[in-house]
Structure 1
Amino acid sequence: MSIQTERRSFEMIVDAERFRTDKGPWFGKLPEQLGRDYSFAVMGDRCGMSIDGVFEQGLEVLRDMKPDFVLFVGDLIEGYWRDPASAHEEWDYIDARIERTGLPFFQTIGNHDFGTQAMADVWSERKGHEYYAFRTGDSLFLIVNTEDPFEELSDEFIGMIKRATEGVKREPDRASEHLKAFYDEIVAGLSPEQLKQMGQITLAIGERQLAFFEKVLADNADAKITFISMHRPGWKAEDASFAKLEKLLEGREYAIFSGHLHSMEYTKRDNRRYIQLGRTGASPHGNGRGDENLMLWVTVTDGKPSFRVLHLDGIGDIEQYPPTAHHHDKE
């Protein structure tokens, strides 16, 4: 394995032997002037079972706010296609809208993006690299693929996903009802043992990928902080590959961003932060504040990060506020 690097204003790091391509799951490049102080946004799942227009609204908000770049934690498209044409159609739509913002945008693979062999083939054709890293100043970023290899679902299960997705698309105001019907359909066909397993988080990070990140971390031992983007929250799984990744990160200050569960959570343990992003367009899995549509704003000042949550459900267009006559009662 060799690691290809390109050192300009920032360093892009890829596994060039495994992925022999000039394509990548990113748009644009970091600004030339980026230094120790910068800001970036993290967007949560757009899918599964997306609510039309929400992710697009998030892109418009970020275009106005102008972060230095955007991280995305996976599940950009509904996916789970067996035919490549349908996958290409979904990617054509959302890629065009991301590119239109003009913002540097770094993607992470999610299960919806990569859940069948056809989806994996389309990813390879369009985006090339399944995992990668980059560095800017004293900050190192690892973009991890937790679908390595992807979990093969049955045609029956994919059919259930498709029916629920169509229901949400047809009746977005009844998204919670369609999700409940989806889960009820799943539960009805499971044994008690399968029901127990259903609540467990699983993921896969292949040995070659781990070897890549081991070398990246060794070559960047002087980085002051490391940010990791992965779709599935590895800290919630009993998984040997994630445990090995955390062993490689030992002694570093780091923050891990994930998605998958559509609900915002924050945990800090010593020099480690675990941030599970809420949804940015996907259907809700609950009805708490963390289940609202949101994005994360990260400001790095002199190598130290701070985090602010932006709730899209509370952001409105100016046209929604027409003038009205106001009357003040006399005291």
Structure 2
Amino acid sequence: MKQLAWALCLTPKVLLLATAAALLPACTSVIESGLEPQVLHEVQDGPRPWTDAAPNYDADAVRFAIFSDLTGGERAGVFELAVEQLNLLRPELVVNVGDLIEGSQERVEIDRQWASFNERAQESVAPVFYTGGNHDLLDQQLRTAWEERLGPRYYHLRYRDVLFLVFDTEDHSFERLGEIAKLRQQAIAVAKESGWGEFAKTEYANLPEDETGMISEAQSAYMQRAIANNSDVRWTFLLMHKAPWANNNMSTWLAVEDALGERPFTVFHGHRHTYQHTQRNGRDYIRLATTGGVFLPESGTSMDQLVWVTVDKSGAHIANLKMSGILDKTGKRPGNGEHLCLEPQDCPGE
């Protein structure tokens, strides 16, 4: 496979003293040979004005981005800014951890919300792969709308030698789905009337399902097959909204972990709107904050964020990016970003 010419010839970190005419044949020969690129220079002897580290180059590296919850009262303009910032970063693909729309009991309103989200997501120069959250899936009307508009609620995809498992953590029976949805509607009404502090005291907020969600036997079996059929991948990423491992008795989740075995993997989830990094069985389990959702600073580290992931020959490298600090070439946030509040301490009225 031919290497990309710019990776060798246009790296800004090195001093190239040869002429352009002299460089081109050297670039071409390395590219066509399949060798890793080398720094070209004319300093023959003695000290050199750079360090000894080799260029951080991996022709097989995969770079993707993640965004988080939009809901609980989406703050206008934040997701649009996130898309503009992602376009500056140029990931190969974009994934997320669910809660993409606010949700409704009315199909017309659900369709309006999906049309709005889809229109904004289409502005991404990289493909955006959807994950469902409770706002997207937690009643029959929402589930039907998802399946009619978007297809499967859980799925997997393989990009080069990286596997993505996308879960539906609202995979309840129809009967239980209706029971939880009713309690959730009551809790949302409390939040709108009295704030999210009171929401935390509602029956819905204290259900085990609010923390852990649900993975059905069918979904668990599907993910186990996807894992078995992709045993040669370099890394596996699991994307979901809620944290099924929070209920250690959920056998369907434990079966997925068992199927993963010793392979390297990372789990990303959302739902609580605060950032948290934990480890389970030596693997990273990362809960993201928000990308335009309601701030809940009393519950932990709250911010609008994106995540940048690079998978290369040495592993998976994860960088959390505060949206407040992703600036364009003018030194400002792109679009209307300068007028947005992206961290709770900067917007006490949010």
TM-score, normalising length from structure 2? 0.70
Q: Is the 8 A contact 1:35 1:136 kept in 2?
A: no
Unaligned 5+ residue runs, structure 2?
A: 1-57, 339-350
Structure with the largest fraction of strand:
1
More relative contact order, 1 or 2 (CA 8 Å, 6+ apart)? 1
In the other structure, the counterpart of 1:247 is: 258
In the other structure, the counterpart of 1:257 is: 268
In the other structure, the counterpart of 1:117 is: 140
1:68 paired to 2:95: no
Q: Is the 8 A contact 1:200 1:237 kept in 2?
A: no
In the other structure, the counterpart of 1:26 is: none
- Counterpart-to-counterpart distance in 1, 2:191 and 2:268: 27
- Counterpart-to-counterpart distance in 2, 1:132 and 1:199: 21
In the other structure, the counterpart of 1:232 is: 242
- Counterpart-to-counterpart distance in 2, 1:128 and 1:160: 29
Q: Is the 8 A contact 1:296 1:308 kept in 2?
A: yes
In percent, how many aligned pairs have the same letter? Answer: 30
Deviations 1:229-285 (A, max 9, x none): 111122323322211111111111110111111111122456521111111111122
- Counterpart-to-counterpart distance in 1, 2:311 and 2:70: 25
- Counterpart-to-counterpart distance in 2, 1:138 and 1:216: 14
In the other structure, the counterpart of 1:59 is: 83
1:147-186 → structure 2 map (5 Å cutoff): 147-149=170-172, 151-152=177-178, 153=180, 155=182, 157-162=184-189, 164=191, 178-183=195-200, 186=202
Q: Is the 8 A contact 1:78 1:113 kept in 2?
A: yes
- Residue 309 of structure 1, CA deviation: 0.7
1:136 paired to 2:136: no
Amino acid at match of 1:179: W
- Counterpart-to-counterpart distance in 2, 1:68 and 1:219: 23
Give the 3-state SS of the residue equivalent to 1:105 in structure 2: coil
Unaligned 5+ residue runs, structure 1?
A: 1-33, 168-176, 323-331
Gap change, CA 1:82 and 1:296, over 3 Å in 2: same
Gap change, CA 1:287 and 1:308, over 3 Å in 2: farther
- Residue 288 of structure 1, CA deviation: 7.7
1:94-105 → structure 2 map (5 Å cutoff): 94-105=117-128
Give the 3-state SS of the residue equivalent to 2:268 in structure 1: strand
- Counterpart-to-counterpart distance in 2, 1:304 and 1:125: 38
- Counterpart-to-counterpart distance in 2, 1:162 and 1:95: 27
State the structure with more CA Rg. 2
Amino acid at match of 1:94: F
Give the 3-state SS of the residue equivalent to 1:96 in structure 2: helix
Amino acid at match of 1:178: G
Gap change, CA 1:291 and 1:112, over 3 Å in 2: same
Gap change, CA 1:119 and 1:200, over 3 Å in 2: closer
In the other structure, the counterpart of 1:7 is: none
- Residue 202 of structure 1, CA deviation: 2.5
Q: Is the 8 A contact 1:203 1:237 kept in 2?
A: no
Residue from 264, 271, 284 that aligns with 1:273: 284
1:45 paired to 2:69: yes
Q: Is the 8 A contact 1:232 1:260 kept in 2?
A: yes
Amino acid at match of 2:264: E
In the other structure, the counterpart of 1:106 is: 129
Amino acid at match of 2:92: D
1:205 paired to 2:215: yes
Bigger drift between 259-268 and 91-100 goes to: 259-268
